[in-house]
Amino acid sequence: MINIYLDWNGIIGLKPEFERVYSPAMRSIREWYKQGKIMLWIPSPIRMEYYNSREKRHYDENQWNEELRNVGLEDVKLRSPTSRFFKFPGLQWILIREIHDRIFPDIAFSDREIENAQKKLAMGRQWNSQKNDALSVYTFATWSDRDDVFVSYDLKHIIANRDKLYKPYEVMVARPTEALIHGEQMVILKEKPEEILGHVIIPGHIMTPQETVNYLQEQLEESRQVEKTNHSERYQAQGDSNYA
């Protein structure tokens, strides 16, 4: 079954009071989920976005569940990143940084990189939102298979820069290497730069809501045709056995 991951824009698009140009597409995606044809997930960093309070940085569990009920997604679960990249020490943080820099090349990765205190204060929630968007894409990368989709209507950043996310990633990887130490042959770990293909890092797709609808229509129709063919073959085999 295809897994669909929603960003915050997807949730907003389902709010009746915030009708958007992509809202009809989001309602179609929700309907397929209700029919059991796809799975929906929300990357856990999304819970940190757009909380309307200066005192709290994220929704508590009750508030978050209410948000989802209000848009008909009460059964959709949060997904945190998996340990997919942990087997290479440090790779997780390299990829988080690289994904952020490719989506938001003009936005500081860390608030410690913003020298001007007033600018840091002014960026506030916008910086926090963009940081969580990058973390959500990373979360998707740790879970996705090649048929899965991360849905976003951030046309200026995520959609505009998605091709960059599929370019090779150069990382430092420690590999076992033979070395002569004090006259003795030993095996040590030696770091060297290696390229990892973008589709290895992010196997799935990154699409707008309407692109996702078009994609799902094709995939679901293909599944129907396969099931129809299989049903016909089973019926034919049953008929042949009856006459055997």
> How does pLDDT run across 177-220, given as a tens digit for each residue?
888 888 888 998 888 888 999 999 999 999 999 999 999 999 99
Grouping H, G, I as helix, E, B as strand and the rest as coil, residue 137 is: helix
Total-model pTM = 0.83
Percent of residues, the chain, with pLDDT higher than 70: 84
Say what the pLDDT of residue 63 is: 87
pLDDT of residue 237: 60
Domain boundaries, the chain: 3-168+198-242
Phi–psi pair at 181, nearest 5 degrees: -125, 120
pLDDT at 244: 57
pLDDT for residue 238 is more than 80: no
pLDDT of residue 5: 98
Residue of higher predicted confidence among 166 and 117: 166
From 28, 40, 27, select the one nearest 79 (Cα to Cα). Answer: 40
Give the separation between CA 155 and CA 242, rounded to whole angstroms.
59
pLDDT over 60 (residue 53): no
Q: Are 201 and 81 in contact (CB under 8 A)?
A: no
Of 34-38, 41-45, 168-172, 212-216, give the lowest mean pLDDT range: 168-172
Six-digit token string for 244 = 């055997």
Q: How confident is the model at residue 239 (pLDDT cuts 50, 70, 90)?
A: low
pLDDT 10s digits, 94-114: 999 999 999 999 888 876 666
Predicted local confidence at residue 62, as pLDDT: 87
Residue predicted with more confidence, 220 or 227: 220
Per-residue pLDDT, 192? 83
What is the predicted pLDDT for the residue at 233? 59
Q: E strands of 8-124, at which residues? A: 39-43, 77-79
The helix, strand and coil proportions of the chain, stated in percent and rounded to the nearest 5, come to 50, 20, 30
Per-residue confidence band for 120, with pLDDT thresholds at 50, 70 and 90: low
Rounded mean pLDDT of 2-26?
Answer: 95
pLDDT for 159: 97
Instruction: Look at residue 71 and give its three-state secondary structure.
Output: coil
pLDDT at 54 over 60: no
Most confident segment among 44-53, 113-122, 216-225: 216-225
Provide φ and ψ at 76, rounded to 5°: -80, 135
Residues in the chain: 244
Mean pLDDT of the chain: 87
Other C-beta atoms closer than 10 Å to the C-beta of 131 total 21
